[in-house]
């Protein structure tokens, strides 16, 4: 193998580039990125960077030594993968590669018909954050559509800037699908405690707009109930879809993400997938999984690269299930794989407290640990509980 192309200058792509060198590959590594920017860390985009307390340079994922070992093709869009020749068709030409790492991530979902309305934002890229940052001015009324991690973090940042914020969530409780209703309710109370208005069970029917130059600008959000909320800025955080459209005709299954084995290898043995775009088969359950978390993207790269370089399966990916979210000067942490019906046992504090720790239990074993504002307790629980073998008999 002489040339490896990494498609996607994301966290997953950057980690794959580092792993190729760490695992001894001394050939050509080409990193292709649709954005013009060097690979950067995304979590601060909704927090410190959006608030203006973190610099652009602090987001960089690759240092000078990493960059010296790469050939960068930034501002370049991948348009097609030819399975017969192994060539990538790019917006600025073609690229032949012996091995390919797919790390294209995803694109944010939008509210239909709002893409060109001024004041309506998504938050996925650096440019998204810069555009939103310019509109967070004194007196602006912010409506966040979606109460998941991104929505909650944006709301938290806007409140810290002294802005009026309303969060609209379609579910009865944000994050309930991940944490279950009891812990999700505790997290939802963070909004109220910090002056954010949370509206659950809220369906968005449309936007009110006014003429703004040659286009339109948002003035309000219409709910299914008939109510209209005034809004100067609307931030849409309703998830993402894997960026796989360019793989049509490649022979790769990519419905809901690029399908891979437990080792992150696709149907083409010289092509692997990592990060948000990878829909892998779990070695433990046999189910297809896809995760959209920072830790997942970072953890997958060593496994995918090892299998790519070996030309055969030598490792399988086992996710830690770790994720975190910084909200309102506090931190939520989760590790493991909770499921509906798991028993929740509080090890420190209670669900009513500003800080607590808990475990998820199923059939006598711990499946996950969670903490709100107790990082030391979380680390201890994670080390002690998630490494215990399942009980026998």
Q: What is the pLDDT of residue 391?
A: 39
Q: Helix crossing, 294-310 with 11-22: angle to 10°?
A: 40
Which CATH number among 3.50.50.60, 3.30.40.10, 3.40.50.300, 3.40.50.1370 corresponds to the domain 3-107+240-310?
Answer: 3.50.50.60
Is the domain 329-385 a CATH 3.40.50.1370 member?
no
The residue among 33, 42, 40 whose CA lies nearest residue 240 is: 42
Distance CA 148, CA 137 (A): 24
Q: What is the pLDDT of residue 284?
A: 83
Helices (H), the chain: 11-22, 48-51, 64-68, 126-133, 149-160, 176-193, 294-310, 375-385
Q: CB–CB of 72/31 below 8 Å?
A: yes
H or E element in which residue 241 lies: strand 240-242
Say what the alpha-carbon torsion angle 212, 217, 219, 224 is, to the nearest 10 degrees: 140
> In which band, very low, low, confident or very high, does the pLDDT at 393 lie, cut at 50, 70 and 90?
very low
Q: What is the pLDDT of residue 392?
A: 37
Cβ partners under 8 Å of residue 290, min gap 6: 242, 256, 257, 276, 278, 279, 280
Average pLDDT over residues 97-105: 96
CA atoms 107, 113, 114, 118: torsion sign: positive
Residue range(s) in the chain whose domain bears CATH number 3.30.390.30: 329-385
pLDDT one-digit tens code per residue, 53-88 = 999 999 999 999 999 999 999 999 999 999 888 899
Q: CB–CB of 232/238 below 8 Å?
A: no
Q: What is the pLDDT of residue 324?
A: 94
CATH superfamily, domain 110-236, is FAD/NAD(P)-binding domain (3.50.50.60)
Distance CA 196, CA 235 (A): 14
> In which band, very low, low, confident or very high, does the pLDDT at 390 lie, cut at 50, 70 and 90?
very low
Residue range(s) in the chain whose domain bears CATH number 3.50.50.60: 3-107+240-310, 110-236
Q: Average pLDDT of the chain?
A: 94
Q: What is the pLDDT of residue 389?
A: 44
> In which band, very low, low, confident or very high, does the pLDDT at 28 lie, cut at 50, 70 and 90?
very high
- Half-sphere exposure of residue 165, counting CA atoms within 13 Å on the CB side? 29
Distance CA 116, CA 96 (A): 37
Cα distances from 163 to residues 158, 159, 217, 230, in angstroms, run 6, 5, 19, 13
């Amino acid at each position: 193998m002489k040339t490896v192309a990494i498609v996607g200058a994301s966290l997953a792509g950057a980690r794959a580039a580092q792993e190729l060198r760490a695992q001894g590959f001394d050939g050509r590594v080409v990193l292709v990125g649709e954005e013009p920017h060097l690979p950067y860390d995304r979590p601060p985009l909704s927090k410190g960077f959006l608030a203006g307390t973190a610099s652009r340079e602090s987001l960089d994922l690759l240092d000078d030594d990493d960059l010296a070992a790469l050939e960068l093709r930034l501002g370049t869009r991948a348009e097609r993968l030819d399975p017969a020749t192994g060539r990538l068709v790019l917006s600025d030409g073609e690229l032949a590669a012996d091995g390919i790492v797919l790390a294209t991530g995803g694109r944010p979902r939008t509210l239909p018909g709002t893409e060109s309305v001024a004041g309506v934002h998504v938050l996925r890229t650096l440019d998204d954050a810069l555009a939103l940052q310019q509109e967070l001015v004194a007196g602006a009324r912010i409506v966040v559509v979606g109460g998941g991690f991104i929505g909650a973090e944006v709301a938290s940042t806007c409140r810290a800037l002294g802005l009026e914020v309303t969060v609209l969530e379609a579910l009865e409780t944000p994050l309930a699908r991940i944490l279950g209703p009891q812990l999700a309710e505790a997290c939802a109370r963070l909004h109220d405690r910090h002056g954010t208005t949370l509206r659950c069970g809220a369906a968005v029917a449309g936007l009110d707009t006014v003429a703004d130059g040659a286009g339109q600008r948002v003035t309000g959000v219409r709910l299914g109930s008939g109510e209209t909320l005034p809004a100067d800025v609307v931030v849409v955080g309703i998830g993402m879809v894997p960026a796989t459209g360019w793989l049509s005709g490649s022979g790769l299954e990519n419905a809901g993400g690029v399908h891979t084995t437990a080792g992150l290898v696709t149907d083409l043995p010289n092509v692997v997938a990592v990060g948000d775009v990878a829909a892998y088969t779990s070695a433990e359950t046999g189910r297809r999984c896809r995760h959209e978390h920072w830790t997942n993207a970072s953890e997958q790269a060593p496994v995918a690269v090892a299998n790519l370089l070996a030309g055969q399966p030598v490792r399988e990916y086992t996710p830690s299930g770790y994720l975190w979210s910084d909200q309102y000067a506090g931190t939520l942490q989760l590790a493991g794989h909770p499921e509906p019906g798991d028993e929740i046992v509080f090890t420190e504090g209670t669900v009513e407290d500003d800080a607590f720790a808990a475990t998820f239990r199923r059939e006598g074993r711990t499946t996950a640990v969670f903490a709100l504002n107790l990082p030391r307790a979380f680390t201890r629980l994670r080390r002690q509980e998630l490494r215990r073998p399942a009980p026998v008999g």
